[in-house]
Structure 1
Amino acid sequence: MFDLQAIIDDIYRELEPQRGLGKVADYIPQLARVDARRFGLAIVTVEGQAYVAGDADTAFSIQSISKVFNLTLALGKFGEAIWRRVGREPSGSAFNSIVQLEQEGGKPRNPFINAGAIAVTDLMLAGHTPREVIGEFVRFVRSLADDETIVIDHEVAASEAATGFRNAALANFMKSFGKLDQPVEHVLGVYFHHCALAMSCRQLAKSGLFLANNGRNPMTGHSVVSPQRARRINALMLTCGHYDGSGDFAYQVGLPGKSGVGGGILAVAPGKASIAVWSPGLNDNGNSALGSKALEMLAQRTGWSVFGS
């Protein structure tokens, strides 16, 4: 077994001169205030060993990474029925594209683009208040990370609600096609709160461990999902987890992953580890520029790519 601490220390040291690479998501005012030079990495193995470097214990807005946890909850409640509401295909378009949604009759391509996550959130609201759904979501992530300190950043949620016109357009568009059952303002309120969850790389890596361990959380012994469902969530992360940059991420890194415009990426090395990186500067596809480089280097040095070393 190689020395994982030495590997991520080396990656951090080699990439440190490039801190600040990319462009911070300035269309969400609270995210625009984040220091672009922040850079953290964390690996948590299925044996429970944690290896961290840089700003690994600084909380940041996980944004679209939250869609993995919301999808997991929805699959637990509705099973395969959710695929009547949202597809499983890569989008090939921007994460907030309205053109594709119109062409395809209001059914989003996958649960990891904004429209898809909004559709999943609508499902979760059936028979529940927004407060109940948000509470369940936070409790679920806390249980995955085995950490009760994880909270929603309400300033980020308010910032998104005040400026989320494109997401409001997507939701209203789906409503016009009869694809949303709940009030649009309730769906968007819950969606914005999910995205505003604040976590550190260490907490995020812990929360993804069940996907690296056949659906079971090795830290608690709790079975989160079946092995088959864990494989399927990983498959969706590999093919759809980086918006219209998903193919390139699979090519360069070769790990299931989900990015967020807060600069975080959660990646999974099945059977081995859960990995989280954070660097707020984004590339043209809305994925962490430095974080993507760090994961590519990690996959090369560990041979963890799902396609072989």
Structure 2
Amino acid sequence: MQDLLTEIAEVAKTSPDKGQVATYIPELAKIDPEQFGICVATSDGNVYSAGDAETPFSIQSVSKVFALALALGKVGDQLWRRVGREPSGLSFDSILLLERENGVPRNPFINAGALVTTDTYLSGYSPKEALGELLRFVRSAADDDSIHINEAVARSEIATGHRNFSLAHYLASCGNMNAGVDKVLGTYCHQCAVEMSCRQLALAGRFLVERDDMPGLVSKERRRRINALMMTCGHYDGSGDFAFRVGLPGKSGVGGGILAIAPGRASIAVWSPGLNQYGNSKLGTEAMEMFAQKTGWSVFGAPQF
């Protein structure tokens, strides 16, 4: 496994096309696109890494996985009255489907859906209390109390998040926003600004690996459902392409991170800031494709590794 990750990192580092960083968030536009890290936390307790796996980065929409777990823990299946479970087929910040479907977002991983899950776990709390609960969940999953929120990134997102404010106001106009737009947006932007390294993210993702000895933060049934949504919706309008090329549940973020789960086997985190046309990490996607091909790990076939 270590040799494989070293090989993947070497291939990524020499790639001539590393994609484009997310320039619409000023703090993310400053990130060096030459960086690449990968880490695998296996179900038997081993951790393997290569490249810039210890470098912290903004996990952005990967945080939606943890937010969804919190929201489901708070209201259970009642959440699905407010957000759907189908792929969007459109970009992560599109307003078209929201208008067509009367303010019910297509799934919890597009921005509108994530605003609903944030509104759900925020219910009854102040933003500070809700974010404290989110951090406790992530820190418990990773067994690492040093994980924190990057305040500069959060402020940058709030200052430039006009599209997200539009989505939130539209949700509110349809009666699908309870805590108030400013309160939800502030919490959401801080949620996306959680900062982790590949190692920390891979360790945090173990709660979705579906083994009895993994962190028991959610039920077995809920783990399976979250993994299913990651497979079908975790890469926005590139979800089908990621499933075709990789064959593992995964969730991306515009910070360049991807969290992928090999059920029963491992949690994998990869990071490269340059994005492809879908807003997903270009080298991260290519690295995960190489990883899946070399290991044979896929939900669609038996492993060879």
Fold-level similarity (TM above 0.5) = yes
Alignment check: 8 A CA contact 1:19 1:39 kept? no
1:19 Cα deviation from its structure 2 partner: 6.5
Whether 1:292 aligns to 2:285 is yes
Give me the whole-angstrom Cα distance separating, in 2, the residues matched to 1:226 and 1:101.
Answer: 30
The count of residues paired between Structure 1 and Structure 2 equals 302
Give 1:124's aligned residue.
Answer: 121
Give me the whole-angstrom Cα distance separating, in 1, the residues matched to 2:281 and 2:138.
Answer: 22
Matches within 5 A, 1:99-114: 99-114=96-111
Give me the whole-angstrom Cα distance separating, in 2, the residues matched to 1:185 and 1:73.
Answer: 20
Give 1:263's aligned residue.
Answer: 256
1:14 Cα deviation from its structure 2 partner: 2.0
1:225 Cα deviation from its structure 2 partner: 1.2
Q: Which range moved further: 150-159 or 13-22? A: 13-22
Q: 1:277 aligns with which of 251, 255, 270?
A: 270
1:266 Cα deviation from its structure 2 partner: 0.1
Q: 1:176 aligns with which of 173, 177, 202?
A: 173
Q: 1:144 aligns with which of 141, 157, 161?
A: 141
Structure 1 residues 239 and 33: alpha-carbon distance in aligned structure 2, compared to 1, 3 A threshold: same
1:15 Cα deviation from its structure 2 partner: 2.2
1:66 Cα deviation from its structure 2 partner: 0.2
Give me the whole-angstrom Cα distance separating, in 1, the residues matched to 2:201 and 2:12.
Answer: 21
1:288 Cα deviation from its structure 2 partner: 0.2
Deviations 1:263-304 (A, max 9, x none): 000000001000000000000000000000000000011110
Give me the whole-angstrom Cα distance separating, in 1, the residues matched to 2:42 and 2:173.
Answer: 45
Deviations 1:148-174 (A, max 9, x none): 100000000000000000000000001
Alignment check: 8 A CA contact 2:103 2:170 kept? yes
Q: 1:240 aligns with which of 224, 233, 243?
A: 233
Give 1:45's aligned residue.
Answer: 42
Q: 1:306 aligns with which of 275, 299, 305?
A: 299
1:125 Cα deviation from its structure 2 partner: 1.9
Give the unaligned 5+ runs of structure 1.
none
Q: 2:187 aligns with which of 165, 186, 190?
A: 190
Give me the whole-angstrom Cα distance separating, in 1, the residues matched to 2:260 and 2:37.
Answer: 14
Give me the whole-angstrom Cα distance separating, in 1, the residues matched to 2:267 and 2:216.
Answer: 16
Superposed CA RMSD: 1.0
Alignment check: 8 A CA contact 2:12 2:36 kept? no
1:213 Cα deviation from its structure 2 partner: 2.7
Q: 2:5 aligns with which of 2, 5, 8?
A: 8
Tell me the secondary structure at the aligned position of residue 14 of structure 2: helix
Give 2:25's aligned residue.
Answer: 28
Give me the whole-angstrom Cα distance separating, in 2, the residues matched to 1:19 and 1:126.
Answer: 46
- The runs of at least 4 aligned residues of structure 1 exceeding 2 Å deviation read none
Whether 1:157 aligns to 2:150 is no
Whether 1:77 aligns to 2:70 is no
Give me the whole-angstrom Cα distance separating, in 1, the residues matched to 2:140 and 2:278.
Answer: 31
Structure 1 residues 127 and 280: alpha-carbon distance in aligned structure 2, compared to 1, 3 A threshold: same
- What TM-score, normalized by structure 1, do the two folds share? 0.96
1:20 Cα deviation from its structure 2 partner: 5.8
Give the unaligned 5+ runs of structure 2.
none
Structure 1 residues 104 and 193: alpha-carbon distance in aligned structure 2, compared to 1, 3 A threshold: same
- What TM-score, normalized by structure 2, do the two folds share? 0.97
Give 1:250's aligned residue.
Answer: 243
Whether 1:227 aligns to 2:220 is yes
Alignment check: 8 A CA contact 2:87 2:106 kept? yes
Give 1:210's aligned residue.
Answer: 207
Which letter maps to 2:176?
K
Deviations 1:223-258 (A, max 9, x none): 211111111110000000000000000000000000
